[in-house]
Amino acid sequence: MSTSETVTTFEQWLAAEFAATGSFTALIVLVDISEIKVNPLVSTYLNIIGTEVDWGEITVLFAGAGVPWNGAAFFPVVDIHGGPLDNPTARIKLRELETRLGDDRLVLNEGAFFDQWGRKLKVEEVDLQ
């Protein structure tokens, strides 16, 4: 976890999630947030085996996605024995998540959803009259 004095909400979430579950796979979706829409852009997964990573390091990883993003949702999952998923299972779970998000953006609230500064977000329905 970050050793700086400022700990992001992401880092607090990561520490709590790791304390609760141990190592896990994080299914991740980067999104573009506009005034009334949240659009999924790209997705990936990574195995979390400790809390040494901070939000700054995560954003450096996300820079490699090649798309401008302003939100990221993390969905922690473990295999049936606890611990990270194997790669084939992680890919399947990620595709299932993408399908669900295509149908309903509120699925983002089932994960840990953060803005580009690592602050917690929540998607709310908007009436488009």
Domain boundaries, the chain: 9-115
pLDDT at 5: 61
Give residue-wise pLDDT tens across range 5-53. Answer: 688 999 999 999 999 999 999 999 999 999 889 999 999 999 999 999 9
pLDDT at 36: 86
Q: Quickly list H helices, 5-86.
A: 9-21, 55-63
Q: How far is CA 74 from the centre of its chain?
A: 2
Give the three-class secondary structure for 117.
coil
- pLDDT averaged over the chain? 93
pLDDT at 129: 66
Estimate the share of the chain in helix, then strand, then coil, as percent rounded to the nearest 5. Answer: 35, 25, 40
Other beta carbons within 10 Å of 111: 19
Q: Per-residue pLDDT for 119 more than 50?
A: yes
Q: Are 11 and 48 in contact (CB under 8 A)?
A: no
